[in-house]
């Protein structure tokens, strides 16, 4: 047996759904002989429930069954996010062209006619399992690339403009609350859009950002710079795999209705982000949470009224924090610098006030302390259990 033909160490699970006992037993025996783990079900509803509880790698599905035919079983499986990626192959005595077309339209990837040839079934099963495995490997690689890219970008925000990282905490908290109320399936996209929505502001002069974010008077040049930051961020993200929708949400954060032809998913994300960012801007300029919310309600048509109604129930809690003065070797991830950290040897700023420390920043400080010296001990904010405290949470 060649390496290509060897069965993987983990046995693939195949589900057979057929009310004909003779046909079902024949498939089960044949597949088990080839080393697969096989479970058989005579009815579609029981198979659907079993697939949710123990996800199979492939489903072989008959069409003519009592209570629910195979087409409907397939449609229901494909409508469930947790099962939708599992390949479904119809195995049926109905072999007219229209039967096959209906099978493919319901979501199947292949169609085998009864009476079936054992070698053909085995070949098709093996081919689709290999394709499924290849897709999973590709998805895993994309996920690793996505995670690495987003970590790099969030690290860039922390290093270049700690104030932006502070602002995104409140924005993310609000977006997470809205998502929880909606119970949607795009939560990770909304959270990522909230995390990176201000990354374009790292190109702005610091005083311009503070003036613009706090709604202070701006020159035409400053106004143009601030209005352009979502486009800067979107262009940065658009070429990262799987972030196209996130980039579009960020691009539309200042005016969600600017592109009415976007998908419903992007439109909702942009409206959520618009609300959360504008609420944070009001908080930033000194309004308490309830006053800011009332001001938003007083401008009908600017914000999605359904989302505003959800935010009306937003009640984040307080968290206690305290201040400490510590040497570099006692710093921990999660602490926030309350001063710029400066090199003793040349006066260079190593990390800026407001930076939330992580393992990378602590390692950087340790290296500078070892080889160039830093002005320590350092003043830091140490946060206890609970949520980030800011004027968001005053009411």
Q: What is the pLDDT of residue 392?
A: 44
The pTM of the whole model exceeds 0.95: no
Q: Are 56 and 84 in contact (CB under 8 A)?
A: no
Asked if residue 152 is part of any domain, the answer here is: no
Asked if residue 4 is part of any domain, the answer here is: no
Say yes or no: 336 and 362 in one domain: yes
CATH of residue 349: 3.90.105.10
Q: What is the pLDDT of residue 159?
A: 67
Q: For the chain, what is the domain count?
A: 3
Say yes or no: 176 and 219 in one domain: yes
Say yes or no: 166 and 310 in one domain: yes
Taking CA atoms, 259 is separated from 248, 251, 277, 329, 380, in Å, by 10, 10, 19, 51, 44
Say yes or no: 308 and 339 in one domain: no
For 68-115, the pLDDT digits (tens) are 999 999 999 998 888 888 999 999 888 788 988 999 999 999 999 888
CA–CA dist 369, 372 (Å, integer): 6
List the structure tokens of 196: 């990176």
For 24-51, the pLDDT digits (tens) are 999 999 999 999 999 999 999 999 999 9
Residue span of the structural domain in which 263 resides: 161-315
Q: Are 374 and 368 in contact (CB under 8 A)?
A: yes
Taking CA atoms, 60 is separated from 24, 83, 91, 360, in Å, by 10, 14, 6, 50
Say yes or no: 35 and 51 in one domain: yes
For residue 321, which of 249, 254, 388, 226 has the smallest C-alpha distance?
388
CB atoms within 10 A of CB 217: 8
Asked if residue 153 is part of any domain, the answer here is: no
Say yes or no: 183 and 246 in one domain: yes
Q: Are 194 and 179 in contact (CB under 8 A)?
A: no
Asked if residue 156 is part of any domain, the answer here is: no
Asked which of 136, 170, 190 is the last residue of a domain, the reply is 136
> Which ranges of the chain have pLDDT less than 50?
1-8, 317-319, 385-395
CATH of residue 131: 3.40.50.2300
DSSP assignment of 171-209 equals HHHHHHHHHHHHT-S-HHHHHHHHHHTTGGGGGS-HHHH
Say yes or no: 335 and 294 in one domain: no
Asked which of 315, 340, 373 is the last residue of a domain, the reply is 315
């Amino acid at each position: 047996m060649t390496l290509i033909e060897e069965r993987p160490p983990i046995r693939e699970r195949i589900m057979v759904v057929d009310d004909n006992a003779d046909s079902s037993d024949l498939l089960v025996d044949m597949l088990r002989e080839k080393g697969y783990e096989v479970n058989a079900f005579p009815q579609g509803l029981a198979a659907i429930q079993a697939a949710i509880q123990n996800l199979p790698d492939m489903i072989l599905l008959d069409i003519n069954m009592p209570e629910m035919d195979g087409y409907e079983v397939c449609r229901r499986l494909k409508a469930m996010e947790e099962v939708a990626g599992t390949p479904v192959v119809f195995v049926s005595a109905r072999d007219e062209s229209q039967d096959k077309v209906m099978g493919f339209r319901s979501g199947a990837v292949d169609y085998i006619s009864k009476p079936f040839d054992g070698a053909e079934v085995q070949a098709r099963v093996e081919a689709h399992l290999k394709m499924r495995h290849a897709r999973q490997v590709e998805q895993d690689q994309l996920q690793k690339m996505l995670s690495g890219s987003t970590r790099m970008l969030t690290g860039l925000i922390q290093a270049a403009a700690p104030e932006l990282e502070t602002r995104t905490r409140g924005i993310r908290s609000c977006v997470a609350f809205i998502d929880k109320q909606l119970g949607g399936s795009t939560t990770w996209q909304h959270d990522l859009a909230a995390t990176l929505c201000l990354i374009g502001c790292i190109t702005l002069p610091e005083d311009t950002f503070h003036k613009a974010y706090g709604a202070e008077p701006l020159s035409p040049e400053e106004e143009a710079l601030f209005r352009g930051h979502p486009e800067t961020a979107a262009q940065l993200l658009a070429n990262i795999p799987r972030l196209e929708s996130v980039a579009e949400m960020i691009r539309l954060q200042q005016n969600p209705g600017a592109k009415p032809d976007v998908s419903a998913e992007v439109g909702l994300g942009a409206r959520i982000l618009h609300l959360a960012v504008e609420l944070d801007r009001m908080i930033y300029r000194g309004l308490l949470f309830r006053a800011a919310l009332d001001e938003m309600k007083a401008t009908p048509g600017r914000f999605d009224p359904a989302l505003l109604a959800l935010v009306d129930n937003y009640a984040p809690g307080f968290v206690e924090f305290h201040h400490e003065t510590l040497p570099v070797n006692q710093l921990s991830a999660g602490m926030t610098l309350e001063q710029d950290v400066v090199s003793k040897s040349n006066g260079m700023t190593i990390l800026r006030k407001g930076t939330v420390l992580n393992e990378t920043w602590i390692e950087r400080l340790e290296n500078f302390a070892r080889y160039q010296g830093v002005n320590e001990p350092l003043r830091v904010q140490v946060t206890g259990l609970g949520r980030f405290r800011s004027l968001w949470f005053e009411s």
